[in-house]
Every structure is written in C-alpha cells, then in structure tokens.
Amino acid sequence: MEIYQIILMGIGAITLIWLVVKTIKGVFWLLGKGLESCFREKYPYDFEINLGWVIQEMKSHGYRQAAMMDAGSDNPGVIMINSESSIEMEVRLHAPLLTDKGYSIIVANHNNNTAVVMQDSASDENKRLLSKYLE
C-alpha cells in the first residue's frame, strides 16, 4: 500500500468521524429545542420563575401585578401598575427558542416610552439598575 493511499484513508476516516459527531449533535440539538417548545406549551406560566426577582423588586416599590401577557411565547411577560402614581410598566422575558445567547429581561414604562434591558440574573448590578429605573 502506498503512502498517499494511507493518507487518503486517514482523511476519509477523520471526515467520517466528524460527520457522525455533527449528525449526533444536530439530532440532540433538535430534540432539545423540541422538548423546550413542548414544555412551553404544557407549562406556559413557568416564565414567572425567571421574572420573580423583578416582580418582587417592583412590589417593594409599590407596584402590583395586573395581567399576564403572551404566556407560552418567546416574549412572555406581566403588566405591573403603580396605583399611586398611575404608572404602568411592562416586564417581559425575552426567551427565544432558537438562540444560544440566553434570556434577557425588558422592563418598559408605558407612560414615558422608556425601557431597560437586563440579563436574566438577580445580580446586584441588575438590582441597582432596576431600582434606579423605578425611582
């Protein structure tokens, strides 16, 4: 057997292994996205877990939860209302299915058309940002 035949067989074997690994990863990726979609349909209100710290922070500033929006979608959320100052806020979880970037939380003020976007974590920085925005 000649050296170039051995090299070509090695390249073929490496290519075959690479294709098998990519195929398996693709199948698991599709299964994962499908399962996530099914869970969203079965448990449409589980997004409140991710928004819990924002809702609690807003309740401590005098807001109350008024309504749910788009449960089970990529952008579910809640409406928070402050009765004393007549301010209506929209809190949304931006959680698209087909992304690897993670989730983000959007808090929008309907009265003055402003919004703040935060990563989905209850870090001190996010809590300070939200508290400053609510004042």
Both 87 and 118 in a single domain?
A: yes
0.75 exceeded by pTM: no
Same domain, 64 and 33: no
Mean pLDDT of 106-133: 82
CB 92 within 8 A of CB 76: yes
Residues spanned by the domain of 87: 48-134
Task: Enumerate residues 6+ apart whose C-beta is below 8 A from 68.
Answer: 45, 76, 77, 78, 79
Compute the mean pLDDT over every residue in the chain, rounded to the nearest whole number: 83
Same domain for 114 and 53, yes or no, is yes
Domain count within the chain? 2
Whether 17 and 57 map to the same domain: the answer is: no
Same domain assignment for residues 53 and 33: no
68 and 54, same domain (yes or no): yes
pLDDT computed for residue 100 by the predictor: 66
Does 2 score more than 70 pLDDT? yes
Same domain, 29 and 79: no
Our CA dihedral for 74, 59, 118, 124, rounded to 10 degrees, sits at -140
Q: Does 85 lie in the same domain as 103?
A: yes
pLDDT band at 11 (very low <50, low <70, confident <90, very high): very high
- On whether both 127 and 71 belong to a single domain, the answer is yes
pLDDT in tens, 89-100: 899 888 776 666
What is the predicted pLDDT for the residue at 99? Answer: 65
Question: Is-contact 51 70, C-beta < 8 A?
Answer: no
Range with the lowest mean pLDDT among 7-21, 43-57, 101-115? 43-57
Query: Looking at the structure, do residues 77 and 96 belong to the same domain, yes or no?
Result: yes
Same domain, 72 and 118: yes
pLDDT digits (tens, 9 = 90+) for 31-45: 877 777 777 667 666
**Domain co-membership, 66 together with 127:** yes
pLDDT tens-digit series, residues 44-83? 666 777 788 888 888 888 888 888 887 777 788 899 998 8
